[in-house]
Amino acid sequence: MKNFLTSFGRHLLDFAYPDICVACENRITDTRSAICFECQWDLPRNTNLLIHNESQENKFWGKVKTSGIYSFLRFTKGGKVQNILHALKYQNRPELGIFLGKLCGKALKDQHLFLHADYLVPVPLHRARLRERGYNQAGCLATGISEILEIPVRHDLLARNKSTLTQTRSGGRLSRYRNLEGVFEATETAPEVLRDKAVILVDDVLTTGATLEVAATALWKTGIRELFIVTLAAVNRS
């Protein structure tokens, strides 16, 4: 009788508070993942894993040196990836970031991309935003990637000195860049750790590239040897 009541209570809670796939927003029965199996299979992955197409590399051409850019998923407005990114940033889902980071890391490993890198460095949040959100989504992604690639994550080498407007709402590329001037700075210990090292800079989404450009510039000042950029998703537009 006790087992029956326990099972009944669990099913009642599932009915009242169903688990919803963050991608398609349909109910899921497998609660081990926030993304249903069908969506995991059907996620819009970038088929050209080591991205060298003009729409992405032009965002950094002549601005900051990179040895490779990889974005795991293709972002389209109103699509599943937009839903995933929204859940990752605004629905208190740090475990989702680690899960997605593992998927991204597996794709990198399968294609033998950036495996010789020495460190993963996530794009940091300002401390006020970090307190508000409770976690850094880029840091969660980097943690997941690290578990697959066995490359250590360093959260202490890049700092965000001031809070900025949300970049998705701050206009075009030039206005975004101006909004980010002086935002990122390498910490005191960064040059000692990173000098002559290969670094993977990690963020959630690549849009205009302004955020990553400013963060990458701060890393180059530490004397790194090589820089790669990895994001969960990319907006494929010029």
pLDDT in tens, 138-148: 999 999 999 99
pLDDT in tens, 13-27: 344 445 889 999 898
* Amino acid at site 152: P
DSSP helix/strand/coil, 64: coil
pLDDT at 145: 98
Residue among 180, 178, 219 at smallest CA distance from 198: 219
Query: How many Å apart are CA 235 and CA 206, to the nearest integer?
Result: 6
DSSP helix/strand/coil, 233: strand
Unique residue bearing structure tokens 């919803």: 20
Confidence of residue 238 (pLDDT cuts 50, 70, 90): very low
Q: Which two tokens stand for residue 94?
A: 């740090």
Domains in the chain: ranges and CATH = 1-42 (no CATH), 44-235 (3.40.50.2020)
Q: Tell me the whole-structure pTM to 2 decimals.
A: 0.84
